[in-house]
Structure formats: C-alpha cells, structure tokens
Structure 1
C-alpha cells in the first residue's frame, strides 16, 4: 500500500475564513500553517498548528512542495508580497478569495512587484467550488472541497448515480 501524499495547508492571514478552514482541514488530514504578519493577530490564532510572520519562515519545512496556499483576505495591503512569495516557492497550489465579477486586487499588486503575467495567471481566483458560499464556514467547505477535487483529479461536481 502506498503512503498518502502529504497535505499541507498554508493560510495567509488570520481571518474568520482561515479559522473555519483550519478546523476542517485538520479533520481532512492537512497540516495547517498560518502566515500572519501582524503579531497580535498571529498570537491570537489559537487554532493554528504553526504560525509564522512570513512564508519564508517555512522554507526547509518537509512537504512544502505539497502545500496549498490560500490567501483568506483580499483587502490587506500586503497581499501582493505574500502571493509573490508563494509563487516563488515550489508549492502545489496558490489561490486568493475574491469576487469573480471583477479583477482582483492581486493582479495590480503582483504587477507592481514585477511578477510576470504567467505567474499572475497561476493564482486561482475565485477559490473553491461554486456553491453560493457566503459565510466563513461555507467558504471553507467550498475551498477545501475544491482543493480535494483538484488533488484527486476530479471536477468537483456531483457524483454520477
């Protein structure tokens, strides 16, 4: 029997969505790490298995290449820095929450940091399955289901009967 591939979830920003995702992700076998530059928010995130101020602090961690990086707040001024740092590492998947009806702020933020269009296109947005999510828990379910579908090579729709 082959060992299951490691599951690592890196949540950027301590938000209500991140807290909901962390709880569900551990039940799904993910090791959860939080990247939160604000020390007060980082220290108050008791739900995080591991909390750091920058993604670079996770360099050298085993299984970083298996990481799914999710930016859980698209209103933060430094989101471009965290996305750039994620794109520069051998992580499996990078995504950011946001409304699909308009261009996300990450596009301009990454361009301003010199990130090329091919790398900007690697950022998944919106994240998760289209289930009409509104609450943090619904967004967490949608996002984690989408990540599992992607890992398993599935579309994420209903199973055939």
Structure 2
C-alpha cells in the first residue's frame, strides 16, 4: 500500500474513483506478504500486485465490482483442486480486503504518505466493515499526532494506543475489538517504518551499480566519498543523498540502526580501514567490503591493529557477495544483493533446485484479538509478519 499511495492520491486529486485491494493475512506459502496491494482506477488501470499472478484477475474484478457498488469486500483465496478455478498454486491462503477510496480515507492516506516521505514512522489503520456494510473510517498515527477516526470515540482510544505500540515496526496485522456486541469491529493496521539505509562508501562504477540495486530493493541510499570530482548526483542518479566527506567522519556523525547496511567500495586503506572500524562497532544488519583476497587479508590485519575485536571482524562480509562468477560492476551488484537478501532472511544462498523445504517464509500475518474498546492503553505485544524493505 505504501508504494501505491502516491498514485492513489494523484487519482483522487483528479476526481477519479479508485479502489484498493490489500493482502491482510497469509497462511502457509504465498507469493507476497501482508501489506501487498493493488489499486484499480475507474478507467481500468491497475497498479501493484496481491499474489504475483495467481489470483490477480479475480481481485481486479472484485475491485471493479467495489467501484461500481461502493460496498467493500473481504475475501479469502486458497489452493484449488480445480484447474479452472481461481486459487493459489503455491498451496497457501491469503485474505484480501477491497475498498473504494473515499475522501476521508484519502485525507488520512495523504497524512500517512507525508509522514513516511519525511522518514517518520507511521501506522495506517482502516476499519474492515461487516459483509454488506459501507466503508468504515481510517486513522493515520505518528509519534506526536494522528488524523482521522474509526467512527467510535471509545474505539479510537484503543486503536490509537495499539497503533503507537507498532510505530517503528514494518508489519501488517488485523485486530478484532470486543465492544460488547455481536459484530466485533476489525481493524487493518499497516505499520510503515522508515526505509532502511544503505550507506555506500566510494564513488566508482561498482558503487554506482550497488546504489542502483539498493534503491531497487527499497533502501534509502547514501553515497559518500571524499573526492568531490567523482562524488556527484549525476554519477549516482539512484542515490537519495550524495555526500562529499571522509567516509569515517560522515559515518561517525550519522544515525544508523540494526536494519542499516554499509558497503565499502574504496579498497584503499586510508579510506576503508577507518570507516570499517567505525561500522563494525555498530549493530548494523550487514557490513561488506569490496576487494581481492589479498586486500582483505591486509585489511583484517590493519583493522585488528586498530583495535577491532575478532568477534566484530567475523561480521565483515569481505570480499562481499555470493560466488556467482561476477566480474562487471552490474554483476558484482547482483552478487552483493543476493548475499544481502540471504543474510537478511537467514538463508544459505544455495540453488533452490538443490534444496528441499519451503521456498518462501511461511506464516506471514496473524489476526489478533484486541482488548475492549475504550479500556485504556494496551500491553505491549509482538507485531505480526516479518520486516520488509
């Protein structure tokens, strides 16, 4: 939904009706995770995906029906034994919520989009109405404020408290609230964390290729080098930031978290040893460095002499990348990206054809029962789903 928000808002501003179909839960193996979405314009244009192809046509038709009727839909798709029936060929099951975008929802979505664009954690909450009901309310929640309403003051208090517990996560969850009546309201929570950072140190062709594939994977990309001649926005069109500074000095003054990635592309001791010593002292998701095995052996000696512990050195991916036989900058970037994805998911990076077991992580997304509406702050609870980029 996050990636489609600009398109939905553009259509809404032009007065064009549109509908959003969102994956709210996954059971078993499925192509996409909770939060995946498709938006459908009144003229038939469709953007995004909910299943990677298996049930796209059926969801598209549902969105068209919702646009015509104004009535939201909540549907499940699972494996089908009938070759002509609509179902997931991967054997999993997904729940999809489809709603037309009304003015109030668009205003809330715009607030969430602006917060995310400013790299602020935000949670978008949408009411899932009962079958045959009209579209419910929506709320955007950020650290010091919120916009919108569920339509019930008591429920708003409970939803706001739960949403604030999810700030900084990157998950999608459905929560059900006990309000003492038969039809218990359900809420779709989408927590949008700021994009994880990819810090690329070095300003050469390999750095340009790595910054491009990092942007493709959804990272907020910064390229930094002390050489102003080579460190220009024109040379790094995919980077969000291009910084002229000594790498270690820039990193020392930069906030990072445990999702951030550092790639050192200089293979020059006066640049890479100080910045790697700084990086390996931080709880980063991945630290990699380009260079030959001879360069790496020299680098390890110098990092040890600089006081970097053996435990910290063991975190260094160098030479970085998987063994793909890469030689060009573009191939090297693919090798790095493959290792990064494998490291992030805890996989070994081997050929799928040589392995047994599930291809994708399973069990994304859960349905959580909330506390009664209006009963005060909720206790902390683990978020559903897996971190995404």
TM-score by length of 1: 0.84
Query: SS where residue 95 of structure 1 aligns?
Result: strand
Deviation sequence 1:72-120 (CA, Å, 0-9, x none): 1213422110101111222111111123467433212212322222222
Q: 1:7 aligned to 2:196? A: yes
Higher share in helix: 1
Tell me how large the CA RMSD over aligned residues is. 2.3
- From 113, 119, 122, the counterpart of 2:315: 122
Q: What are structure 2's unaligned runs of at least 5 residues?
A: 1-33, 35-170, 172-190, 355-389
Which structure would you say has the larger RCO, counting Cα contacts within 8 Å and 6 or more residues apart?
1
Q: What are structure 1's unaligned runs of at least 5 residues?
A: none
2:232 aligns with 43
* Equivalenced residues, count: 158
**Distance in 2 separating the partners of 1:20 and 1:90:** 25
**Distance in 1 separating the partners of 2:253 and 2:317:** 23
Q: 1:82 aligned to 2:275? A: yes
Query: SS where residue 277 of structure 2 aligns?
Result: helix
Q: CA deviation at 1:49?
A: 1.3
Q: Decide which structure has the larger Cα Rg and report it.
A: 2
2:222 aligns with 33
**Distance in 2 separating the partners of 1:37 and 1:65:** 26
Gap change, CA 1:145 and 1:4, over 3 Å in 2? farther
Deviation sequence 1:22-56 (CA, Å, 0-9, x none): 11221111111122122333235443211332212
**Distance in 1 separating the partners of 2:300 and 2:353:** 37
TM-score by length of 2: 0.37
2:253 aligns with 57
Q: 1:21 aligned to 2:217? A: no
**Distance in 2 separating the partners of 1:156 and 1:4:** 28
**Distance in 1 separating the partners of 2:330 and 2:236:** 17
Query: SS where residue 39 of structure 1 aligns?
Result: coil
Q: 1:142 aligned to 2:331? A: no
Query: SS where residue 11 of structure 1 aligns?
Result: strand
- Once the two structures are overlaid, the 10-residue window that deviates more, 95-104 or 109-118, is 95-104
Q: CA deviation at 1:143?
A: 0.3
Higher share in strand: 2
**Distance in 1 separating the partners of 2:297 and 2:345:** 27
Gap change, CA 1:97 and 1:27, over 3 Å in 2? same
CA contact (8 A) 1:74 1:105 kept: no
**Distance in 2 separating the partners of 1:36 and 1:154:** 32
2:291 aligns with 98
